[in-house]
């Protein structure tokens, strides 16, 4: 049994919750117009929310209903498609959303993109936590909706994110296994994967060419008024000079070397050399290095060994090795775009890259640079005790992606320079279960995924916080064979013997009814006896009586529709309208 933990922030003083189920779309007796009217009302009312109660579609098969009856209805696939179309306009109203805020960017093979630029088929970086590698996979669906509530946030020196409470995180537990958790259920300490080796392809670049691209990016100059390229290197690094010359010679590229005394030039105390590549041979490098970016072909399509060679050469140019941890290093640049590319490179070769923004003022002029510390660790550690977790209110759009196979994707949060974090991204009825029983296909689970809401199984607890008020709801589709009004509501009343909640929701009975009960309990804080109420609700249906199996079996006709339950923000109170 699952706990659905929800925090809502209404525009007014209450939330109107509509338990929506027993529509039985697919039967001729389904009052689809009435169901559609409810959807329009829910969409129109800003503070309305929905809890799905099951039996949304009839889901009959020839084995469960018989050939003649089955052929009178529309097929399960048509039922599924029709229900998705009905509910899609209110998908942002369904209790339980797992999404990210718009200031996250997703890594594609064309670089980082905002959600507005993403589309089905775009290739994004994902994490295969079984193989512990990263893989490029296509987007199957993009979901965008509105959200008004409290976000869960994580901010540390190596990771940053803001997500809805029901968004799923992958983390590495103490048993050295990858697990999933909802943001609202985050453990007090956890380690999130921020890098994983990618080795899916290889580009047709020689090692010498890759080295020279790295040297030009870090130590090169490409004057705008000239077409040649120079690589500057201090004489205190003879191995670097030898490597550059050897790579040029291996590629058959002629070059000229100019030496100058740093003291005469008033640069510093070192002597320098400039290695110049002429206009003709510089073109092949200028074509791929028109901006201060790592070429996308190298960054996204190279093999692990090619990326590793490129990384090692970049460290020789603008970086340094440290002795703090095995494989640790530092890297610096004044170009933000270059640093973002460098951090992605580190992630693709299984290294963690923490970036800091450095500012200093010289002669009243502000200089901005970026400095990275790199380790072989592939996890970012966050904890509650270190105050990495927090919350904030948010009202606006949120988005999520459905990605093939691995069901997660690699994002960067704008509120930090670079924060790589892997992510992936509702009640079940007995009629949907008929398909699962006969075929093994769970249509309820598929619909939940399509709508971007959590799959909650046959029954669940839902804790809703509205302002300072907390409401506990126990909901179940139900399985009663009761036919009389008092025996139907009794099935709902009996739930309180095993489950403690404020509101009980019970479907399946095809009746619309509610009861209130008062309980006396001790208020330990005020040392008094207080009255607390509980509410029991039968959540209705959308079947016409004439021609239905209810008429065939002489069941009593019952009012159609769904209840509307008001949960108040300024006081602990609730009311049900039928």
- Where in the chain are the domains? 2-53+437-577, 104-196+379-424, 207-375
Q: What is the C-alpha to C-alpha distance for residues 120 and 212, in angstroms, rounded to an integer?
A: 37
Instruction: Tell which residue, 20, 12, 7, has the closest CA to residue 426.
Output: 20
What 8-state DSSP symbol labels residue 27?
B
Dihedral sign, Cα of residue 187, residue 188, residue 189, residue 191: positive
| Residue 47: predicted pLDDT | 87
Cβ proximity of 186 and 389 under 8 Å? yes
pTM above 0.85, yes or no: no
Percent of the chain with pLDDT over 70: 86
Instruction: Tell which residue, 555, 551, 451, has the closest CA to residue 91.
Output: 451
Based on C-alpha coordinates, what's the Rg of the chain? Answer: 31
CA distances for 168 relative to 410, 424, 486, angstroms: 13, 6, 42
Instruction: Phi first, then psi: give them for residue 539, nearest 5 degrees.
Output: -90, 15
Reply yes or no on domain 2-53+437-577 having CATH 1.20.120.
no
Instruction: Tell which residue, 89, 82, 79, has the closest CA to residue 48.
Output: 89
Residue with tokens 């670079």: 418
The fold adopted by the segment(s) 104-196+379-424 is Endonuclease - Pi-scei; Chain A, domain 1 (2.170.16)
Q: State which residues of the chain have pLDDT below 70.
A: 1-5, 7, 59-73, 92, 96-98, 261-270, 415-446, 448-457
Instruction: Tell which residue, 131, 109, 122, has the closest CA to residue 193.
Output: 131
Q: What is the C-alpha to C-alpha distance for residues 429 and 552, in angstroms, rounded to an integer?
A: 22
| Residue 270: predicted pLDDT | 61
| Residue 243: predicted pLDDT | 96
Q: What is the CATH number of domain 207-375?
A: 3.10.28.10
Beta pairing partners, 188: none
């Amino acid at each position: 049994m699952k706990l659905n933990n929800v925090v809502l922030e209404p525009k007014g003083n209450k939330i109107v919750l509509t338990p929506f189920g027993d529509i039985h779309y697919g039967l001729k007796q389904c009052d689809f117009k009435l169901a559609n009217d409810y959807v329009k009302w829910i969409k129109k009312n800003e503070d309305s929310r929905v809890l799905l109660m099951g039996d949304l579609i009839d889901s009959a098969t020839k084995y469960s209903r018989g050939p003649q009856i089955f052929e009178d209805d529309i097929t399960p696939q048509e039922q599924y498609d029709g229900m998705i179309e009905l509910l899609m306009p209110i998908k942002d109203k369904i209790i339980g959303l797992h999404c990210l805020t718009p200031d996250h960017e997703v890594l594609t093979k064309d670089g980082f993109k905002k959600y507005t630029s993403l589309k089905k088929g775009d290739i994004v970086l994902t994490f295969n936590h079984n193989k512990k590698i990263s893989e490029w996979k296509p987007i199957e669906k993009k979901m965008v909706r509105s959200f008004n509530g409290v976000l869960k946030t994580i901010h540390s020196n190596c990771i940053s994110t803001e997500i809805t409470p029901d968004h799923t995180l992958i983390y590495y537990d103490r048993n050295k296994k990858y697990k999933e958790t909802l943001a609202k259920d985050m453990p007090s300490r956890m380690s999130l994967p921020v890098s994983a080796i990618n080795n899916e392809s290889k580009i047709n670049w020689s090692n010498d060419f890759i080295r020279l691209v790295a040297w030009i990016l870090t130590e090169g100059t490409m004057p705008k008024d000239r077409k040649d390229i120079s690589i500057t290197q201090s004489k205190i690094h003879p191995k670097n000079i030898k490597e550059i010359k050897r790579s040029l010679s291996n590629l058959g590229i002629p070059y000229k070397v100019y030496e100058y005394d740093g003291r005469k030039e008033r640069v510093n105390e070192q002597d320098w050399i400039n290695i110049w590549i002429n206009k003709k041979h510089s073109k092949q490098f200028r074509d791929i290095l028109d901006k201060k970016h790592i070429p996308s072909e190298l960054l996204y399509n190279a093999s692990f060994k090619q990326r590793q060679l490129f990384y090692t050469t970049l460290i020789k140019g603008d970086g340094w090795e440290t002795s703090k941890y095995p494989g640790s290093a530092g890297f610096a640049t004044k170009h933000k775009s270059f640093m973002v590319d460098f951090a992605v490179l580190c992630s693709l070769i299984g290294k963690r890259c923490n970036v800091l923004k450095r500012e200093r003022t010289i002669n009243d002029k502000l200089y901005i640079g970026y400095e990275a510390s790199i380790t072989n660790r592939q996890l970012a550690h966050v904890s509650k005790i270190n105050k990495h977790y927090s919350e904030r209110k948010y009202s606006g759009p949120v988005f999520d992606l459905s990605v093939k196979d691995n069901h997660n994707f690699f994002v960067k949060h704008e509120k930090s320079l670079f924060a790589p974090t892997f992510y992936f991204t509702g009640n079940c009825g007995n009629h949907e279960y008929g398909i699962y029983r006969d075929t093994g296909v769970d249509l309820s689970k598929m619909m939940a995924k399509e709508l971007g809401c959590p799959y909650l199984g046959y029954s669940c607890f839902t804790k809703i916080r509205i302002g300072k008020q907390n409401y506990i709801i126990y909901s179940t589709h139900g399985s009663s064979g009761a036919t009389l009004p008092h025996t139907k509501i009794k099935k709902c009343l009996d739930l309180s013997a095993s489950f403690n909640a404020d509101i009980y929701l019970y479907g399946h009975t095809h009746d619309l009814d509610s009861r209130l009960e008062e309980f006396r309990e001790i208020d330990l804080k005020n040392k008094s006896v207080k009255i607390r109420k509980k509410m029991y609700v039968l959540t209705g249906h959308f079947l016409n009586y004439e021609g239905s199996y209810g008429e065939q079996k002489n069941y009593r006709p019952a009012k159609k529709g769904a209840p509307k339950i008001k949960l108040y923000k300024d006081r602990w109170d609730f009311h049900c309208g039928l």
